[in-house]
Amino acid sequence: MIIRCPPFTIHHYPTIGSTQDELKRLVGAPEFTCVTADEQTAGRGRRARAWLSTPGDGLYLSVLLRPALPPELFPLVSLMAAVAVAEAVTGQGAAPVDIKWPNDVLVGERKLSGILVEGASGVAGAARVILGIGVNLNHRGFPAELAATATSLALVTGRAADPAACRDEVLSRLARWYEVLGRDAGAVRARWAELSSYARGAEVAVTLDGRRVVGVTDGITEAGALRLRTPGGEVRTVLAGEVSRLRKSGDA
C-alpha cells in the first residue's frame, strides 16, 4: 500500500523483514521515499542489535534522504532525527523526554525510540542516507533482557497509541528539522543540546574500542561528536561509542 504524506511517499507493508533493507533495494527511489511496516521479522538497531518489532506495537519506519551537507557533517542527520522524534513523542504525551547521545530517545532513563543511520550508494554514486526510526508504541511488557531499560508510549501515557498518528507526527517533525539542518546546522545542535541531559555535565562511561572511559560530558562538536572531559582533565572527542550514565553512590 502506498500512502502520500507530503513530502513523503510511504510504502507500507503488513509484514516485512526489515524496512531498512527494503528501502536499500529501491536504488532509484527519490528522496523522501519511506518504508513502514506493522511488523518486522528481522528488524535491527545500532550495532546490529535486534529491534523488537511485534505487530501493532511499534512504529517501524525508514526514510531515504539526500542531505545537502558536507560529508563531515553527515553525523548531524542522526542528531536531527533524534530531535524530531523527541518532539514528536512529546506531542503524543510522553514526558519528560531525554536524548542519550547520539540518538536514543528516553523517558525516565528507559529507551522509547532508537534511530539507525546507514549510508548507501545511489544512482551515479549520489550520496544517500537511509534513516531508520523505531518507536515503542503499544508494548505492555518486554523480554527479561529489555525489561529494565525499555519503555513504550502506552506505558508512559497510560493509553494506547495510534501508529498512523505517531507516524505522521514523526514525519512532520522530521520534515521541519531536515529543512532546518540544510540551512542552519547550528540550530539543530542547539535544539539537541536543549533536549539532552547528556549534552553537558553528565557523568558517563563510554566504551571505546573495548575500553571503558569515564568522564563528564562537555558539549558536542560542530559535527555532533561528544566531548568527554576525563578525571585527569583531558578532553576526548567521541565519534562513536556506547554511552551510559554513571550511577552515584546510594542510587538504587
What are 172-181's pLDDT values in tens digits?
Answer: 999 999 999 9
How far is 63 from 56, CA to CA, in rounded Å? 19
On the question of pLDDT at 51 being above 80, the answer is: no
> Average pLDDT for residues 137-152, to the nearest whole number?
88
| pLDDT tier, 38 (very low <50, low <70, confident <90, very high otherwise) | very high
How far is 220 from 186, CA to CA, in rounded Å? 11
pLDDT value of position 53: 63
Question: The cell 519528560 sits on which residue?
Answer: 96
Strand ordering across the sheet containing 211-220:
235-238, 226-229, 211-220, 200-208, 242-245
Q: Which residues pair with 101 in a beta bridge?
A: none
pLDDT value of position 250: 44
pLDDT value of position 20: 93
| pLDDT tier, 124 (very low <50, low <70, confident <90, very high otherwise) | low
Q: What is the CATH number of domain 200-245?
A: 2.30.30.100
Q: Domain limits of the chain?
A: 2-195, 200-245
Q: Does domain 2-195 have CATH number 3.30.930.10?
A: yes
On the question of pLDDT at 36 being above 50, the answer is: yes
Instruction: Provide the mean pLDDT of the chain.
Output: 89
CA distance readout (Å), 71 to 74, 127, 129: 5, 9, 11
- Closest Cα to residue 135, out of 154, 117, 114, 155? 114
On the question of pLDDT at 42 being above 80, the answer is: no
On the question of pLDDT at 189 being above 70, the answer is: yes
> Average pLDDT for residues 206-211, to the nearest whole number?
83
pLDDT value of position 242: 87
Share of the chain above pLDDT 90, in %: 71
> Average pLDDT for residues 205-234, to the nearest whole number?
92
